[in-house]
Structure formats: C-alpha cells, structure tokens
Structure 1
Amino acid sequence: MSSFSMAPVTSVVKKLLIINVVIWVVVQIILDRAFGFHQWRYLILTPELVIEKFYVWQLFTYQFFHAISPFHLLFNMLMLYFFGSELERRWGSKFFSFYYLMSGAGAAIIYCIGVGIYAAVTGFRPVLMTPVLGASGALFGLLLAYGIIFADREIYFMGFFPLKAKYFVMLAGAMDLMSLMGTGFAGGEVAYLAHLGGIASGFIILRGHVQYKNYQAKSKLKRKSSNLRLVVDNDKAEKDNNPKYWN
C-alpha cells in the first residue's frame, strides 16, 4: 500500500499558485482596499449576471479570486499543490491545464443551473445575486481524479486518520452533500453545490477523455486494417500449393 507523499511542484501548478496569490495580494488587498478598485468584482461568479446578462467569462475568472480571509486562499493553494502536482506529472501540462479550468467552469455551470432552478421554484432571487469565488470547484475536480488514479494511496483525513484516496473522495463528497442539504442554496457561506459540481464535472471530463482515446485507438486500428494488402506468389503457389501472405 502506497502513502501520500510530498511531490515537487510542477510547472502549471506553480503558475497557478503565483497567479492566485498575486491576484489576492495586488487586486483584492492593495487595489481594492487602498485605492477603491472594485471593478474586479465583475470577474467573480454572480449567477444572475451569467444567466441574464451572459457574463460567461465569470465561469473561468471566478476561480482565481478568494475571500479576504487568508485561510481560504491558503487552504485552496495547499490542495492545489498536494493533488495538482502529481496529477500534472501523470497527465502532462496540457491536459492538466484543460482539466483544471474545465472542472472549475463546469462547477460554475452546475451551480448557476442549480440556483437558477431554486430561484425559479421558490421565487427567492437573492440567491442569484450572491457572488461565488475561489478555486474549490476545480480543486474538487482534482480530488476526484486523484481518488480514481491513486485510489489506494493513503491520505490523512484531518491530519490524523489514514484513509485510502478513494474513500477520502467519497467522504468529502458525502460531507458536502449533507452540508448542502443542511444549509440549502440560500444558507451558509460555502458554495457546497459548486464543490459537488466540480466532482461531477471532473467525472464527465474523465469519462469523455477515456471515450475519446478509445475512439482514437479504434480509428487508428481501422485505418491500419484498411491498409493491409494480400500478396500471393502464384508461381510458388503452383509448386507447393501453399500461397504466402504478407501485410
């Protein structure tokens, strides 16, 4: 049984860490607090603006902003480092970048759909105007991938209790689901639906990637089969009644 280990930081993970920290320090702390620059708030996820005004860029940009409390940023960046570095090394930078951003965007889409339906059914529109920010959706996508690829790795839950990665993912998802059911869409300060959306988006992306790779392999095999040629040495065949084949 292998255990969770500290992995050297990889290229894309390092860039993501730097970008998130710089945005938090320069934009959210210095420019906002010192100079009153509030325009950055159009870059965080506000379901009403996405649904009614098509601010679709927010599906991606919200991932790089965090709460003013440094603990939100710190916890998310630790998750990015712990799980992201090994996944990037496994997948390569290109697919890792795609998976990370699309898991976050997928989480935002699922969140907007969920709160949109909730607002339409209950008539409670303030939930549409509540902003969401942070990398958690993308990080829960990474957590799912880690639990699938490194299923038997041990992760210490709360720093003390060893769990296999696959069970850690199940526990994290179950806790978020129970928290969502307990607080509802309109309660609490954590967007639990976005976390669950990151898990769902990650699963869809991984399934789609596997099916695409299988399709590529089948197409390659089919093309290779269509190029096979039958060659018969008729003169020799007449002698030994045993034609030879090459491809």
Structure 2
Amino acid sequence: MNPRMQMVVPFTKMVKRLVIANVVIWVGAILILQGFVLQGDFVYQYFGLVPARVITDFWVWQIFTYIFLHSGASHILFNMLSLWWFGSELESRWGSRFFLSYYFVCGVGAGLIYLIGTVIYYLVTGKVIDMAAPLVGASGAVFGLLLAYGLLFGERMIYFMMLFPMKAKYFTMIIGAVELVTMLDSGPGSRVANLAHLGGLAVGFAYLSAVARVRARRSTTGGAAKRGRRLKLVVNNERKTSDRDLDHDPKNGPKYWN
C-alpha cells in the first residue's frame, strides 16, 4: 500500500448521498425555513440535540436528527470535506452498508455521550444554559470516521493544518489529545462540543473492537464446523492387523485443507 494519501479522493456512493442530504437540509431548513419562515431558532430547538428537551420532554429523535443540522457555512463545509476525505476510502474498504451503519452508530453514540456528560456537568455545576443549548452537526460521526481511518490507514500521509505531513495514526492521536485538553479547559457544554467529538472517537473504537471480536469468534467456530462437515468416516473391516497398527503413527493421520 502506498503510504502517501491520494491527491484525488474518490466520491463514493453513500458518501455522496450523505453530503447531498446534509447540504439540502442545511439550505432548506436553516437558510430558507429558519431564515425566512420561522421565528427564533425553532429548527435547532426541535431537531438539534437539546439535553433538557430529551430528558424532560422525551424528544428522543433529536439524538439522530442533530447529525444533519449545521450552524453555518464553515461548519458544514469542514464536516462535509472530512466526510468525503475519510469516508470515501472507508466505504471503498468496507462497503456501503457497513460504512453507513458505522457512521450513524458513531453519530448517535457521540450524541448520547454528550447528553450524559452534559447532564453530569449540570448536576455538578448547576449551569442550566448548557442543558438548553442545542448540539448540531455531523462532527461526532466524522470523528468516528477519523478514528477508523487512523486504524486502517495509519501509515498514510496526511497534512496537519494543511501544512505538515504526518502519518494518519499520529494525526488521529494529536486531534484526540487536543479535543480532550480543550474539553477539560472549557467544559462539555462549550460552544465547540468537544465531548461529542471525543464521544465519536470512543464509540468508533468500541464498535470496531466489538465487530472484530464477533467476526473472529464466528470465523473460529464456523471454520471448525466447516472442517467437520468435510470429514468422512470410512470403515474398512477387511484391513489386516498390521494396517491398523499404522494408525498409531501420527504421520499417517488424515490430511485436509482449511
């Protein structure tokens, strides 16, 4: 595998659909509906992840819908570029179905971790504003993609801050460390939801680890069962005693291919 990152990343099918969906929702719901039809921040309050709404009003759909909302042009641009760069190679490696499930597992999981962390932060500090502030963006899912990219393509060279060449695995570690330090300094309910970013990294690692263990277990048990189906019992009662004695020699045991 060439350790250098491709100059032109392919635009795969599911990544293209996700980018289109995010852009259409941002233009339709935020620029048009929110900007000209509705008053206030109705769209963000109803479809963003608002911890107080999820807990008190049981608006559980917000854990999913917040992934498709973005706060501004730079926000959606950065997330969609990252989705394209990291997601297309992962989809090419995994296939569309597993890629899509992983994307949403990381996005929803990041939202849940943010929700739990914000509630704990509120109980400790009493800051109600963090409970009422909506979380929006695909960043949690994108950070899950970054984690997977760092694991699968760790030797690839990418450019930190668009200037410094660095292996993908080190880039992932640095980004994770920066997010952790920033969150500890500003708290989980800051303007940039670092806790959701860290949640995407953590959920992505846990999900890939669980899938790897399940597949390893299935390959072990499935391989043994498959080999068992290939074995045949052959009885030859006409063999001489000297022939039976040969069975005690392990060199004359059955041979088969896995």
The Cα of 1:246 is off from its aligned counterpart by 8.2
Aligned position for 1:153: 156
Any conservation in 1 of the 2:114–2:188 contact (CA below 8 Å)? Answer: no
Please give the secondary structure, in 1, of the residue aligned with 2:5: coil
Q: Does 1:85 align with 2:85?
A: no
Per the alignment, do residues 237 and 202 of structure 1 end up closer, same or farther by CA in structure 2, a change over 3 Å counting?
A: farther
Of the three residues 170, 174, 181, the one matched with 2:173 is 170
Any conservation in 2 of the 1:103–1:138 contact (CA below 8 Å)? Answer: yes
Aligned counterparts, 1:178-197, within 5 A = 178-187=181-190, 189-197=191-199
Query: RMSD in angstroms over aligned alpha carbons?
Result: 1.9
Any conservation in 1 of the 2:53–2:59 contact (CA below 8 Å)? Answer: yes
Residue identity matched to 2:216: N
TM-score, normalised relative to structure 2: 0.89
- In 2, Cα distance between equivalents of 1:32 and 1:157: 35
Aligned counterparts, 1:2-151, within 5 A = 2-5=3-6, 6-36=8-38, 39-41=42-44, 42-67=46-71, 69-151=72-154
Please give the secondary structure, in 1, of the residue aligned with 2:166: strand
Any conservation in 1 of the 2:66–2:135 contact (CA below 8 Å)? Answer: yes
The Cα of 1:226 is off from its aligned counterpart by 4.6
- In 1, Cα distance between equivalents of 2:152 and 2:21: 27
Residue identity matched to 1:193: L
- In 2, Cα distance between equivalents of 1:207 and 1:245: 36
The Cα of 1:237 is off from its aligned counterpart by 4.7
The Cα of 1:223 is off from its aligned counterpart by 2.3
The number of equivalent residue pairs is 245
Aligned position for 2:209: 207
Mean Cα deviation higher: 195-204 or 178-187: 178-187
Any conservation in 2 of the 1:231–1:246 contact (CA below 8 Å)? Answer: no
